[in-house]
Amino acid sequence: MVAAPGAKAAAHLVEGHGGRLAAEVLLAHGIEVVFTLSGGHLFVLYDGCVQTDVALVDTRHEQTAAFAAEGFAKVTGRPGCAALTAGPGVTNGVSALASARLAGSPMLVIGGRAPQGRWGRGSLQELDHVPIVAPVTKTAVTATPGAGIVDSLHRALLAARTPHRGPTFVDLPLDAFGPATAEIPAFDAIDAAGLAPDPDVVARVAALVGAAERPVVVAGGDVYWSGAHEELRAFAEAAALPVLANGLGRGLLAADHRLAFSRARSAALRGADLVLVAGTPLDFRLGFGAFGDAQVVHLADAPSEIGTHAAPAEAIGADLRTTLAALASAGAAPTARAEHERWIEQLRADEQRGRDAERPRLESDATPIAPSRIYGELRALLDRDAVVIGDGGDFVSYAGKYIDTFVPGSFLDPGPYGCLGTGPGYALGASRGRPGRQLVLLLGDGAIGFSLGDLDSLVRHRVDVTAIVGNNGIWGLEKHPMQALFGYDVVADLQPEARYDLVMEALGGHGELVREPGELRPALQRAFATPGPSLVNVLTDPGDAYPRSSNLA
């Protein structure tokens, strides 16, 4: 991970209250923005942020603040930070911590905490957060005053950014904020480095690549978090390997790179004789690591992440940049490359067939509008480096299928935790992490309800985002499968034609309602042209179900 601008180069002494000391540690790690929702337990921290020019961006629900921290991390590759007040503030952030834990997203949540000196006597919002968040964080501690605050926060940030990355938590008790003098350590990337790969295993993996006729690489989020997209590309090019993206691995290889494939995904995984899974768990998204008769190689970012349940032929749990660079240097012999090129040609034909076949759906004139038509229109309006965020069920599955990603860290889906309600927080985080980039937020009409109040935060913070609601009036990803399994469905209906566009307008943003396919393009163009947040509420066909084989993995 690269040091952020503003990261301080050397350790330095600071005198001040605990909030000041905390803010100085954040700055030393390049953190210049904290997402939060007001609470008295955090006032001293806020004062420290004001003193040091760490920006405070506030939300209407702590889940949004915590998702914003994760979204910031996802678009920058650097740790995001949220500060949540004691008790309900912290518990409201637990889903985001779990989401970050499963996605390996580096982030820090600072909790406000009732005073230690009065612990057990029933202070307001007194709750021991640490055992609650421990299972969904890498580390969770309560800080002691002064140098203890500095030490806890520095260690938490190092842990968050050391492979395998993830969220960490530090509680700051109200009575720990007293004045002190403490040394603020400088961040040194060496302290957060991963392990070096075993060269013998690298050589064995390279030999498997050389022996394979139909190899394929699946690249996931940990390749992104490791900042290893150049090394991935070098490896794929050196050994002539087709690459599929998984989750936050989208865009590591630009969608128009000759070795990047998406429509040929199942053909590739079905036909491969060697699957190299890099930087993503062998989970439900990858058939739990079983690919027919293919041999599997798991390149994880740490030993703890190796998917032993799938008994991979070879596995490495080490820094992915180093691992992929070593594999790139090994390359593959010309005969092996020639063999791989024949396979690549075959997949390229599959890819083209897939793209040709989807064209009628992208251009569908049906009313009610087919969700795919929205993507047909949107694709034409997207910048190459647009940040696209998906929060929903079927509507977002279509986005995953139809939106091409060209730049790392620019397609954010809810990830393996699959939590609805991430979207507005991710958008807020992305707007701070990647200011100036085109920002699109795709929302199911079910998903939007989880953080509807935070449309207000997007307005107040003048986030220039175009939100598009695929409004089918149902929890589509639940209604259709329950129908298929049980022949009926319950608790799967939402209010038809709800006016989310008017909610956005009432809160001060720009709203559009779209019923007919022909209205889509101009409505989207107006939304993109309007500064600040816009919401295009598209009434879509509730009968349209995303074609999937299973959703209960």
Ligand X SMILES: Cc1ncc(C[n+]2csc(CCOP(=O)(O)OP(=O)(O)O)c2C)c(N)n1
Backbone angles phi, psi at 4, to 5 degrees: -80, 155
Nearest to ligand X of 464, 541 (CB atom): 541
Nearest to ligand X of 257, 401 (CB atom): 401
Peptide bond before residue 368 is cis, with ω within 30 degrees of 0: yes
Least Cβ distance, residue 67 to Mg ion (angstroms): 20
Looking at residue 401, its amino acid is: K
Nearest to Mg ion of 39, 444 (CB atom): 444
Secondary structure element (H or E) that encloses residue 229, with its range: helix 229-239
Q: Out of Mg ion, ligand X, none, which partner does residue 419 contact, by CB within 5 to 8 A per kind?
A: ligand X
Least Cβ distance, residue 166 to ligand X (angstroms): 20
Query: For residues 329 and 353, is the Cβ–Cβ distance under 8 A?
Result: no
Q: How far apart are CA 49 and CA 55, in angstroms?
A: 7
Q: How far apart are CA 503 and CA 452, in angstroms?
A: 8
Nearest to ligand X of 307, 444 (CB atom): 444
Least Cβ distance, residue 478 to ligand X (angstroms): 5
Nearest to Mg ion of 231, 445 (CB atom): 445
DSSP per-residue string spanning 274-329: EEEEESS-SSGGGGGG--TT-EEEEEESSGGG--GGG--SEEEES-HHHHHHHHHH
* Nearest to 415, CA basis, from 189, 130, 166, 83: 166
- Total of chain residues touching Mg ion, rule CB under 5 A: 5
Nearest to ligand X of 148, 421 (CB atom): 421
> Hey, which residues between 450 and 489 contact Mg ion (CB under 5 A)?
472, 476
Q: Out of ligand X, Mg ion, none, which partner does residue 394 contact, by CB within 5 to 8 A per kind?
A: ligand X
Least Cβ distance, residue 95 to Mg ion (angstroms): 20
Nearest to Mg ion of 212, 469 (CB atom): 469
Q: Out of Mg ion, ligand X, none, which partner does residue 542 contact, by CB within 5 to 8 A per kind?
A: none
Least Cβ distance, residue 219 to ligand X (angstroms): 25
Chain position carrying tokens 């968040």: 133
Nearest to ligand X of 475, 528 (CB atom): 475
Q: Out of Mg ion, ligand X, none, which partner does residue 354 contact, by CB within 5 to 8 A per kind?
A: none
Q: Out of Mg ion, ligand X, none, which partner does residue 75 contact, by CB within 5 to 8 A per kind?
A: none
Q: Strand, coil or helix: what is 82? A: strand
Secondary structure element (H or E) that encloses residue 112, with its range: strand 107-113
Query: For residues 377 and 369, is the Cβ–Cβ distance under 8 A?
Result: no
Q: Out of ligand X, Mg ion, none, which partner does residue 477 contact, by CB within 5 to 8 A per kind?
A: ligand X
Least Cβ distance, residue 472 to Mg ion (angstroms): 4
Least Cβ distance, residue 479 to ligand X (angstroms): 7
- 145, 444, 511, 517: residue in contact with Mg ion (rule CB under 5 A): 444
Least Cβ distance, residue 470 to ligand X (angstroms): 5
Q: How far apart are CA 35 and CA 23, in angstroms?
A: 13
Nearest to Mg ion of 242, 414 (CB atom): 414
Structure tokens at 448: 């939007």
Residue showing the smallest CB distance to ligand X in the complex: 444
- First vs last C-alpha separation in the chain: 33
Q: Out of Mg ion, ligand X, none, which partner does residue 142 contact, by CB within 5 to 8 A per kind?
A: none
Q: Out of Mg ion, ligand X, none, which partner does residue 421 contact, by CB within 5 to 8 A per kind?
A: ligand X
- 151, 445, 456, 501: residue in contact with Mg ion (rule CB under 5 A): 445
Nearest to ligand X of 185, 473 (CB atom): 473
Nearest to ligand X of 352, 367 (CB atom): 367
Query: Does residue 390 belong to the site contacting Mg ion (CB under 5 A)?
Result: no
Least Cβ distance, residue 475 to ligand X (angstroms): 4
Report the interface residues with ligand X, using CB under 6 A.
Answer: 392-395, 418-421, 444-447, 470, 472, 474-478
Q: Out of ligand X, Mg ion, none, which partner does residue 167 contact, by CB within 5 to 8 A per kind?
A: none
Least Cβ distance, residue 446 to ligand X (angstroms): 3
* Nearest to 277, CA basis, from 302, 244, 248: 244
Query: For residues 277 and 243, is the Cβ–Cβ distance under 8 A?
Result: no
Nearest to ligand X of 332, 477 (CB atom): 477
Chain position carrying tokens 């968050």: 160
- From residue 268, how far is each of 63, 272, 276, 346, 544 by CA, in Å? 38, 6, 12, 9, 27
DSSP per-residue string spanning 451-515: GGGGHHHHHHTT--EEEEEEE-SB-HHHHHHHHHHHSS-SS-B--TT--HHHHHHHTTSEEEEE-
Q: Out of Mg ion, ligand X, none, which partner does residue 478 contact, by CB within 5 to 8 A per kind?
A: ligand X
Q: Out of ligand X, Mg ion, none, which partner does residue 62 contact, by CB within 5 to 8 A per kind?
A: none
Q: What's the Rg (C-alpha) of the chain? A: 24
- Output DSSP code: residue 390: E
Nearest to Mg ion of 58, 541 (CB atom): 541
272: Cα separation from own chain's centroid: 28
Q: Is the dihedral of CA 17, 19, 22, 23 positive or negative?
A: negative
Q: Out of ligand X, Mg ion, none, which partner does residue 286 contact, by CB within 5 to 8 A per kind?
A: none
Q: How far apart are CA 249 and CA 251, in angstroms?
A: 6
Least Cβ distance, residue 92 to Mg ion (angstroms): 24
Helix axes 199-211, 229-239, angle to 10 degrees: 40
Chain position carrying tokens 């013998």: 200
Q: Out of ligand X, Mg ion, none, which partner does residue 287 contact, by CB within 5 to 8 A per kind?
A: none
Least Cβ distance, residue 450 to ligand X (angstroms): 6
Q: How far apart are CA 375 and CA 319, in angstroms?
A: 37
Least Cβ distance, residue 3 to ligand X (angstroms): 35
Residues binding Mg ion (CB under 5 A) = 444-446, 472, 476
